[in-house]
């Protein structure tokens, strides 16, 4: 079954929605420039309210590795997702201090981006549009034959997620703006998104 990640949760009610709908992952954004940014202190509070069956993913960009390691090792996060210029040396540094899974994000514009993603030393890769969090879809034909498990992000909604599941067979779907209304997470859209994924899998 394709896994689902609801990214960019910031409020207590977002956690209530997640606990009701039970996605596989939820994401906390620790990138200050993002409108979905939350502090580590807020993330710790929300984590305590989250169903223990849901894994937490921290989204970072060129962050001090010590901060990431602390959030992973104190139980706030189950995984770290890297969206900056982190390289193999950076990932190896993180592995020195934590055994938690690491996800490296790639902006997909051309075939060279695909090769970089294939060769990543992270546990997983995330394939995204050039403007992450913008709600824009990239050219999926570039990843038709992608050879390793990946998180798919970039412009996913209830209207295109079935095609994503059937055409690309991603390990997981990462959605943020596609489950929002007026900049906030919308429980109905979250529910409809999960329903569309389940239906697509059942029809295969």
Please say if the pLDDT value at position 181 is more than 90: yes
The CATH number for 46's domain is: 3.20.20.70
Domain total of the chain: 1
Helices (H), 156-202: 161-168, 187-202
**Encoded tokens for 170:** 């991603």
What digits encode the pLDDT tens for the residues 42-67?
999 999 999 999 999 999 999 999 99
Q: What pTM value is reported for the model?
A: 0.94
**Please, are residues 125 and 116 in contact by the beta-carbon 8 Å criterion?**
no
For residue 131, pLDDT over 90 is answered with: no
Q: What percent of the chain has pLDDT over 70?
A: 97
> pLDDT digit string (tens) for 66-75?
999 999 999 9
- pLDDT of residue 201 exceeding 90, the answer is no
Q: What is the mean pLDDT of the chain?
A: 94
Q: Are 15 and 47 in contact (CB under 8 A)?
A: no
By the 8 A CB rule, do 40 and 68 touch?
Answer: no
pLDDT, average across residues 134-142: 81
Place of tokens 């689902």: 4
Q: Which domain holds residue 7?
A: 3-202
Beta carbons within 8 Å of 31's beta carbon, 6+ residues apart: 37, 59, 60, 61, 83
Catalytic residue among 12, 85, 121, 128: 128
Q: How far is CA 196 from the centre of its chain?
A: 18
Higher per-residue confidence, 111 vs 104: 104
Residue 128 a catalytic site member? yes
Give mean pLDDT, residues 105-116. 92
At residue 134 the predicted structure's pLDDT band, cuts being 50, 70 and 90, is low
């Amino acid at each position: 079954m394709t896994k689902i990640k609801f990214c960019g949760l910031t409020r207590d009610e977002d956690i209530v929605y997640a606990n009701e709908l039970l996605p596989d992952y939820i994401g906390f954004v620790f990138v200050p420039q993002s409108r979905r940014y939350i502090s580590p202190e807020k993330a710790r509070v929300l984590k305590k309210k989250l169903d223990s069956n849901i894994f937490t993913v921290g989204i970072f960009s060129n962050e001090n590795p010590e901060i990431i390691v602390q959030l992973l090792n104190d139980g706030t996060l189950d995984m770290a997702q890297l969206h900056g210029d982190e390289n193999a040396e950076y990932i190896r540094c993180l592995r020195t201090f934590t055994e938690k899974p690491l996800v490296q994000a790639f902006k997909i514009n051309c075939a060279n981006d695909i090769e970089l993603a294939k060769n990543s030393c992270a546990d997983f890769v995330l394939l995204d549009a050039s403007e992450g969090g913008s709600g824009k879809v990239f050219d999926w034909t570039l990843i038709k034959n992608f050879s390793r498990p990946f998180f798919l992000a970039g412009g996913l909604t209830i209207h295109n997620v079935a095609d994503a599941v059937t055409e690309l067979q991603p390990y997981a779907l990462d959605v943020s703006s596609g489950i929002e209304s007026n900049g906030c997470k919308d429980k109905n859209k979250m529910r409809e998104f999960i329903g569309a994924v389940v239906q697509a899998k059942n029809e295969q």
